Amino acid sequence: MEQPGVFSSFGDLATEARYNETARTLRTPFVRIYGAIFMVVALAYSIVNPVYLPPDENAALAVLLGSALLVCGTYIAATFWSEYVRHPMVDFAALLVLALLVGRINVVLFEHLEGDGSTLHAVGVINRLIITAFASVTLAGRPRLFLAWMACDALGWIGQLVTGSPDLSSLIYAILSYFSGALIMVAINLAVGRTSRSAFQYADALDAERERNEELVLNMLPSAAVTRIRGGLIVADSYSDASVIFIDMVGFSKLAKRISPGHLVELLNSFFNHADACTREFGVEKVKTVGDAYLAIAGGNVSTGNSADAAIAFAQAVLEGVENLRRVAGVEDVGLRVGIHSGPVVGGVIGATRMAYDYWGDTVNIAARIEGTAAVNGIAISESTWLRASDRSSFGPPTMVTLKGVGDTCVFHSVMEAIPESATISDGKEAA
């Protein structure tokens, strides 16, 4: 990861804005704490001044301290404004005014102490360097803005210094003192800005990676299942009225012998991508793919109204993609068969590696067997699905077929297909 430069900003304006808002949001509580401390100190000076200062000096300081309290109180209130983090000029203006007021307060106090002949050179007056230090942190990440603040503060300080008509030696030492502290504050501002930008970059990259991982996990498992797995719970669910859809590609085994592996993968990818798009459109849940077969369910983890209606609409939409499959395969003898059965299923996650949410039960097995009875590019549904369906016009009369392990079963075929005489798949695979 590239480290940010001293005066650099993020190339993306949206990222730069997000960084500044995030950094300022994190610093906002400390701005309020600083403001509260400053107001307490100013109030303490207001209490002590009448005891030691003559009325005229006390009156002058009372005006200055009152103004500082008003500015600081307004500054704290501004931090509760919803748009505060987007406007660093609020800090710029408030801290600059406070610095000028504190500078003037220091002048009055030092003049009083000098008149009293005090030898306490390190007397504890309000130090404007404290405000400068706070400004360097508050405006971290915006070094140019802080340098502009320092320039304005320096002009104000020099203006107050010159009005006192100091001798040359005092002026030189004052300038050396001010600018040595100012350089340290600039270094602090740059250091805090660079480290905060680096921390933001790492945190942003970590969040992006976490989102990618979360998206990958949720692509494999339902969100409710993920929550339970993370809580150490067993994931096992029962659904009383689901419709299982089993789709198989006809002639796949023969086609696999005729085309290259890459071509075969392209064909399967086209089929599965089209089916995935249809699941999103009709509220159907993809369960898994097994070879050239696609298993989906309506009425499971993905909520839907009538599971049979959703399953039939999904199957019809998938069959509309057959022409594209033929184009990708480059041959005409490519088709799909769909079997649908409705009933209770059990779903859950088993195992500790390569976990996936799967469904089990007779409903799943019967759907796979019914698929074998459908004609090419046709749909076969069980009687239970036919009874649940709102619109049965696309299906013909019932047909009794014998399914392996099930026995005689009533099946309805879509009217556009020819009802097969047997349940034998054309590429040599026996109906499941």
41 shares its domain with 77: yes
CB 319 within 8 A of CB 379: yes
Domain of 294: which CATH number?
3.30.70.1230
271 shares its domain with 202: no
Confirm whether 424 is domain-assigned.
Answer: no
Instruction: For residue 101, give every residue at least 6 positions away whose Cβ sits within 8 Å of its Cβ, in sequence order, or none.
Output: 64, 67, 68, 71
Whole-angstrom distance, CA of residue 37 vs CA of residue 50: 21
Confirm whether 290 is domain-assigned.
Answer: yes
209 shares its domain with 271: no
177 shares its domain with 254: no
- Summarised one tens digit per residue, pLDDT across range 93-147 is 999 999 889 888 887 877 776 666 554 444 444 567 778 888 888 888 888 899 9
Whole-angstrom distance, CA of residue 243 vs CA of residue 79: 56
DSSP-assigned beta bridge partners for residue 286: 296
The pLDDT, as a whole number, for residue 418 is: 44
208 shares its domain with 241: no
Confirm whether 388 is domain-assigned.
Answer: yes
What is the enclosing helix (H) or strand (E) of 396?
strand 395-403
149 shares its domain with 64: yes
Which tokens belong to 376?
A: 């090419």
Average pLDDT, the chain: 83
Q: Is the pLDDT of residue 169 over 90?
A: no
252 shares its domain with 390: yes
Which tokens belong to 350?
A: 């088993």
Confirm whether 430 is domain-assigned.
Answer: no
243 shares its domain with 120: no
- Summarised one tens digit per residue, pLDDT across range 408-419 is 999 999 975 544
Q: Is the pLDDT of residue 87 over 50?
A: yes
Domain that holds residue 76: 13-213
Confirm whether 227 is domain-assigned.
Answer: no
Best CA proximity match to 250, nearest among 127, 337, 340: 337
65 shares its domain with 173: yes
- Summarised one tens digit per residue, pLDDT across range 192-244 is 888 888 888 888 888 888 888 877 777 777 777 787 877 777 788 888 889 99
Count the domains in the chain: 2
Confirm whether 228 is domain-assigned.
Answer: no
103 shares its domain with 47: yes
End-to-end CA distance of the chain: 54
Q: What is the pTM of this model?
A: 0.56
143 shares its domain with 53: yes
372 shares its domain with 245: yes
CB 36 within 8 A of CB 43: no
- Summarised one tens digit per residue, pLDDT across range 114-129 is 666 554 444 444 567 7
The pLDDT, as a whole number, for residue 429 is: 42
Domain C-terminal end among 167, 182, 213:
213
Backbone angles phi, psi at 154, to 5 degrees: -65, -40
Confirm whether 229 is domain-assigned.
Answer: no
CB 127 within 8 A of CB 110: no
Confirm whether 225 is domain-assigned.
Answer: no
Instruction: For residue 239, give every residue at least 6 positions away whose Cβ sits within 8 Å of its Cβ, in sequence order, or none.
Output: 299, 300, 344, 345, 346, 347
